[in-house]
Amino acid sequence: MALIFLRHTEPTGASGLCYGRTDLPLIDTYHADFTHLANTLPPIERIVSSPLSRCHLLAASIANTRNIPLTTNPDLIEMDFGKWEGVPWNDLPRHELDQWADDFNNARPHGGESVAQLATRVRRALDNTTAEPTLWVSHMGVYRAAAWHLGHDDPWNAKLDFGTFRELA
């Protein structure tokens, strides 16, 4: 399997915000970012994207530029943070953050999805990824879960800037 992971470009208002599945619009410069990425990515034969617009717009632009197939996979959507969605991280109740930290894989103090549930979805997406060079356009949480499944070092603390890509497998 040849898998390249591309994190979506920067969304508007994301700084300091817990936004998981909240479909924030992209910043105004996204067209230039899309063009740059379409021209700098390595060879790929297909693209699989999260359904959120911050990913799908980028994926569609690359697919059109390179004339390659694009599919959408709901397993690549970002983690569901439940009642934390759209709330600044600094405003989240300390006791809820502590509960999450105490059982990072399974706790759901926000009522959304656990890290284990996210990892299960991502495992399913990995299992359905073929040998051909594939580009995933998705989110930081999905990147970390995929890196974890693929045996990368310290994936839950990994950083991947907006609009950057990395070979995962």
**In this predicted model, what pLDDT tens digit does every residue of 41-67 receive, in sequence order?**
999 999 999 999 999 999 999 999 999
Quote the pLDDT of residue 163: 97
pLDDT in tens, 113-155: 999 999 999 999 999 998 799 999 999 999 999 999 999 999 9
Tell me: pLDDT of 1 over 90. no
Quote the pLDDT of residue 153: 92
Average pLDDT, the chain: 96
In the chain, % of residues over pLDDT 70:
100
Q: Is the pTM of this model over 0.85?
A: yes
Using only C-alpha atoms, what is the Rg of the chain?
A: 16
Q: Which domains does the chain have, with CATH numbers?
A: 3-167 (3.40.50.1240)
CB 112 within 8 A of CB 101: no
Give the mean pLDDT of 31-36.
Answer: 93
Residues 6+ apart with CB under 8 A from 39: 65
Measure the CA dihedral 120/123/129/134, to 10°: 100
